[in-house]
């Protein structure tokens, strides 16, 4: 057990704690809350946004490169980078990070990126003919879903 440094004895020592004071302290401890609804909006928006832009870049890679539009592909990659930078700014505005956020986000992001890489490899492994939009659009949605689920879990866990 640590002891109070001599220059900071600003309260009665623990020996005097009554049952009522202990109950009050326990109540305070369980109700202490730093994460605001604004923080939750920023963090869930960040996680969901990452999923959406990764799904979108999968679709845009196919939509541009399948018709030989290298310029369109470069523009879509630039927009992806700008959107990612914006999302990082949004995340940095959160003043408190709820417990479990990083783990949930990392898992969601890892699964989304696995789906993205698998999708890219599959699409570019089938170039003659290129897969149709009816295949690529669901693949893009599936790519975004893990991060969307992670965003929902962050929201639900933090509010619990």
Partner 1 sequence: MTDQEQHARFRLDEVIHAPVRFSIVAALAHVEEADFAAVRDAVQVSDSVLSKQVTLLERAGYVEVKKGYVGKRPRTWLKLTPVGEAAFNGHLQALRAIAGQ
Cβ proximity to partner 1, 100 vs 138, nearer residue: 100
DSSP state of 135: H
- Looking at the Cβ atoms of 39 and 60, the one nearer to partner 1 is 39
Rounded to the nearest whole angstrom, what is the least distance from the CB of residue 135 to partner 1 in the complex? 39
End-to-end CA distance of the chain: 32
Binding residues vs partner 1 (CB under 8 A): 1-5, 8, 10-11, 13-15, 17-19, 22-23, 25-26, 28-29, 32-36, 89, 92-93, 95-102
* Pick 24 or 121: Cβ nearer partner 1: 24
For the record, the structure tokens of 98 come out as 């709820």
Residue 44 CB, nearest approach to partner 1 (Å): 15
Task: Report d(CA 112, CA 69) in Å as an integer.
Answer: 25
Token pair in block for residue 47: 């996680």
Query: Structure tokens of 29?
Result: 């401890």
């Amino acid at each position: 057990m640590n002891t109070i440094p001599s220059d900071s004895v600003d309260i009665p020592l623990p020996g005097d704690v009554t049952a009522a004071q202990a109950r009050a302290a326990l109540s305070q401890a369980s109700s202490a809350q730093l994460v605001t609804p604004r923080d939750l909006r920023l963090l869930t928006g960040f996680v969901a946004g990452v999923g959406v832009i990764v799904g979108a870049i999968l679709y845009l890679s196919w939509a541009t490169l399948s018709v030989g539009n290298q310029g369109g592909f470069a523009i879509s990659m630039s927009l992806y980078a700008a959107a990612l930078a914006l999302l990082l700014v949004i995340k940095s505005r959160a003043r408190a990070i709820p417990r479990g956020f990083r783990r949930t986000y990392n898992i969601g992001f890892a699964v989304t990126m696995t789906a993205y890489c698998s999708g890219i490899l599959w699409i570019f492994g089938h170039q003659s003919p290129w897969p149709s939009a009816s295949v690529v659009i669901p693949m893009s949605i599936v790519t975004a879903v893990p991060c969307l689920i992670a965003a929902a879990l962050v929201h639900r866990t933090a509010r619990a």
